[in-house]
Amino acid sequence: MTGSTSRYSWGADEHLVVQLAESMSLDANFRAMAISSELVAANKPGIIDICPSNASLLVRFNPDVIAPADLEALVRGAEARVDVGTSPKISTRIFEVPVWYGDPYTLETGARFRDRHQRPEGDDLEFAALENGLDGPEAFIKAHADSPWITSMVGFVAGLPFLFQMVPQERQLEVPKYIRPRTDTPKQTIGHGGCFAAIYSVRGAGGYQMFGITPVPIFDPEQKLEDFKDFMIFFRPGDIVKFRSIDEAEYRTILAEVEAGTYRYRQAPVEFALNDFHADPDKYNATLLEALYGN
Segment 66-88, tens digit of pLDDT: 999 999 999 999 999 887 766 77
Which segment of 33-37, 45-49, 125-129 scores lowest on mean pLDDT?
33-37
Tell how far CA 161 is from the center of its chain.
4
What is the pLDDT confidence band of residue 30, given thresholds at 50, 70 and 90?
A: confident
Tell how far CA 141 is from the center of its chain.
18
pLDDT in tens, 189-243: 999 999 999 999 999 999 999 999 999 999 999 999 999 999 999 999 999 999 9
Cα separation, 204 vs 201, in Å, equals 9
- Residue 169 is predicted with a pLDDT of 87
How large is the angle between the packed helices 124-131 and 137-146, nearest 10 degrees?
Answer: 80
pLDDT in tens, 98-133: 999 999 999 999 999 999 999 999 999 999 999 999
pLDDT in tens, 134-180: 999 999 999 999 999 999 999 888 899 999 999 998 999 999 999 99
Burial of 227 (0-12, 13-18, 19+ CB in 10 A): middle
CA distances (Å), 289 to each of 75, 90, 204, 261, 273, in order?
33, 17, 33, 26, 15
Partnered with residue 164 across adjacent β-strands are 150, 196
Right CATH number for 3-85 from 3.30.1360.40, 3.40.50.300, 3.40.50.280, 3.40.630.10?
3.30.1360.40
- Residue 49 is predicted with a pLDDT of 94
How large is the angle between the packed helices 26-42 and 68-84, nearest 10 degrees?
Answer: 120
Helical segments of the chain, H only: 26-42, 68-84, 104-112, 124-131, 137-146, 248-260, 274-279, 281-293
Q: Which CATH architecture has domain 92-293?
A: Beta Barrel (2.40)
CA distances (Å), 30 to each of 10, 209, 238, in order?
22, 26, 8
- Residue 83 is predicted with a pLDDT of 79
Cα separation, 205 vs 189, in Å, equals 12
Global confidence as pTM: 0.88
**Start and end residues for every CATH 3.30.1360.40 domain found in the chain:** 3-85
Is the pLDDT score of 269 beyond 70?
yes
Helical segments of 100-247, H only: 104-112, 124-131, 137-146
Is the pLDDT score of 24 beyond 90?
no
**Start and end residues for every CATH 2.40.100.10 domain found in the chain:** 92-293
Q: What's the mean pLDDT in 256-281?
A: 95
